[in-house]
Amino acid sequence: MRFSSGRALRDQRAHAVTFFGMSGVGKTSLAGLLQKHDWFQYSVDYRIGTRYMDEHIVDNFKREAMRNPFLRQLLRSDSIYIRSNISFENLSPLSTYLGKPGDPERGGLSFDEYRRRQAQHRVAEIRALLDVPEFIERAKDIYGYSHFVCDSGGSLCEVVDPYDEHDPVLRCLADHTALVYIRGTPAHTRMLVDRFRAHPKPMYYNPAFLDAKWTEYKSLRGIVHDEQVDPDDFAVWGFEQLLAHRIPLYEAIASRYGYVIDMNDVPGVYTESDLLDLVARTIDAQVTA
């Protein structure tokens, strides 16, 4: 969704925006702020975890429960019920399911299993993103919301081709929403790496990138067998590689389809009007550039 001017954005009776960018730049904060101003908030990660990955996640819980003789008996007699309790604020069941590859004694998954789960996530994320037009209509029809905000995951750039003008996901999002890239800073990137190093967590990788980095990591560490890999060490190393890989992809998406705001401007946004003014100024600057 492109605009001829900031006023054209302002004059819209119904707004629809998709925020994208790295973790921690303010996507969810801005989406939550708009939700308080009577916008429908659509979390892509929540949709993935509750609609498209829920059975995979719960089945994994059950496999773990079956290892315990006490829980095994209760589960087989249908005496207990196991489910995932994902929320906008707590996506741990989804990230835990994705896991990290490497030594099983240190909590790692076999690389084949890790790739299988990554592939499941890719399909789920694409489907969740393609659901945006449906949810724009559902938000209006069921709940009476005129405005819609999509809080996309940090891996949006991994499941699309920003250099393909016919990419179905990007075309879908651009046709129905204004794509707004929240650009991080070098200091923020360093903070993300430091935070990740302290608490490594599962991530999603484009499959070709994952295969290349898995091979490169083992070569750098002199590792022959997959099960020798320290899952946390690979996660930290891979995360740093991933950040460098994602930045030009985000930039390409914004250049072709959307608009860019800086994460340093986000703390100054307190109201819906503040945000619309910020995006409108960005549009005007882009039009006159």
Least confident range of 59-63, 89-93, 256-260 = 89-93
pLDDT at residue 289 in the model: 64
Question: What residue ranges do the domains of the chain occupy?
Answer: 6-44+101-283
Nearest to 33 by CA among 256, 141, 182: 182
pLDDT of 127 strictly over 80: yes
Over residues 204-223, the mean pLDDT reads 96
- CA–CA distance, 121 with 127 (Å, rounded to integer): 10
pLDDT at residue 101 in the model: 97
Mean pLDDT, the chain, whole residue set:
94
Digit-coded pLDDT (tens) for 184-212: 988 888 888 898 888 888 899 999 999 99
Decide if domain 6-44+101-283 falls under CATH 3.40.30.10: no
- CA–CA distance, 152 with 20 (Å, rounded to integer): 6
Q: What angle do CA 98, 100, 104 make, to 5 degrees?
A: 115
pLDDT at residue 287 in the model: 79
pLDDT at residue 129 in the model: 98
Percentage of residues of the chain with pLDDT beyond 90 = 83
Percentage of residues of the chain with pLDDT beyond 70 = 100
* The model scores a pTM over 0.85: yes
3-state secondary structure of 31: helix
pLDDT of 286 strictly over 90: no
Nearest to 43 by CA among 150, 135, 128: 150
pLDDT at residue 146 in the model: 95
CA–CA distance from 83 to each of 54, 72, 80 (Å)? 8, 15, 10
Q: What angle do CA 129, 133, 138 make, to 5 degrees?
A: 115
Give the list of residues 6+ apart from residue 288 with CB closer than 8 angstroms, or none: none
